[in-house]
Amino acid sequence: MIILIQCTDQVGLVAAVSKVMADADLNIISMREYVNAEANRFYLRLEIADGDIKASQVEEQLLKVLPSNCSIFINTAVKKRVAVLVTKEYHCLGDILLRNYFNTLGASVACVVGNHETLRSLTGKFDIPFHYVDHQGLSKEAFEEAVSAVLKGYTFDYIILAKFMRILSPGFVAAHPHRIINIHHSFLPAFVGASPYRQAYERGVKMIGATAHFVTDTLDEGPIIAQQIIPVNHAYSIKDMVTLGKEIEESVLAKALQLVLQDRVIVDGNKTVVFEN
């Protein structure tokens, strides 16, 4: 059982939560806490050994000892499921499918949905359902309705945008709050939107990077989960940067998925608290 808590900070919170666990005869395997003193916010991640008590009972007892504005998330699921949205680029999808095949993803891939047929054959090699939803001639709303219709046929915890090169509408995002994860080919907040490597090349940067973040209504400005950078110099062409960028995109997305799927990320406004270990 994983428990994530965020609330206003006050003296004695760790002791109070620990007492709830002890009274319920639950063994704490790990406990990580963080206090944002400036915002007076308290964050806690608990890993609890399996016990006889139900999650609803644990939450009920926690609510009695925590501040009234607290947020509690309890996960008892053994393994999560993800849906993946793609366009034409294969590298991030390929990495996800390989990790899924060797049971190192931390979740199972329920389906892949693409607005091009390009990645059907790759997905098929791993016996994962692939659904083609053509966006040509459709409004954004009609296209997303078609995608949503496909997704309704599956159970999933998160939607992964594995180089899905379309901007989602506020309505679609609102239907999956903090459940859509995007990999952006830039070290945000620099070079948002399209062609970030060309932007980086023209600016003459000395490093490029990638950012995995939750999707919100504002383009490429959702809560950041993970980022990485790699040094470059004047001798790197745009093509060189793109090649390196694909490698770092795979790495960053894999790291972000590991953190999210292990319930190590707490979203608070447009920021995240990440308990890496």
What are the catalytic residues? 220
Unique residue bearing structure tokens 């080919």 = 185
Distance CA 133, CA 130 (A): 10
Q: Which residue has the tokens 């000395």?
A: 206
| DSSP characters over the chain | -EEEEEEE--TTHHHHHHHHHHHTT--EEEEEEEEETTTTEEEEEEEE---SS-HHHHHHHHHHHS-TT-EEEEE--SSEEEEEEE-S--HHHHHHHHHHHTT-SSEEEEEEEESSSTTHHHHHTTT--EEE---TT--HHHHHHHHHHHHTTS--SEEEESS--SPPPHHHHHTSTT-EEEEESS-TTSS-SS-HHHHHHHHT-SEEEEEEEE--SSTT-SPEEEEEEEE--TT--HHHHHHHHHHHHHHHHHHHHHHHHTT-EEEETTEEEE---
Q: Is residue 106 within 8 Å of residue 78, measured between CB atoms?
A: no
